[in-house]
Amino acid sequence: MSVKDSNGTELNDGDAVQVIKDLKVKGSSTTLKRGTVIKNIRLTSTDDEVECRMGKSTIVLKTCFMKKA
């Protein structure tokens, strides 16, 4: 299984990614702004989703909204 970002670059565990679009986080009042760098992503069993830590919570992001940093 290969996980690819919006540009087609392959992602691995522990990579840093950058958000390419403002995203509202469900269940929270926070918004991820465009250009936010997220470090240490974890791949999931689904090839179009990754897990990451934002503060004390873990969120799942779609790979179509990120590019490798």
Domains of the chain: 3-68 (2.30.30.40)
Cβ–Cβ under 8 Å, residues 62 and 1: no
Residue 19 has a pLDDT of 96
In the block, residue with structure tokens 């590019």 = 67
Rounded CA-CA distance 50/42 in Å is 6
pLDDT tens sequence across 8-66: 999 999 999 999 999 999 988 989 999 999 999 999 999 999 999 988 989 999 999 99
Residue 9 confidence (pLDDT): 95
Task: Tell me what pLDDT residue 55 has.
Answer: 86
Residue 1 has pLDDT above 80, yes or no: no
What pTM was estimated for this model as a whole? 0.86
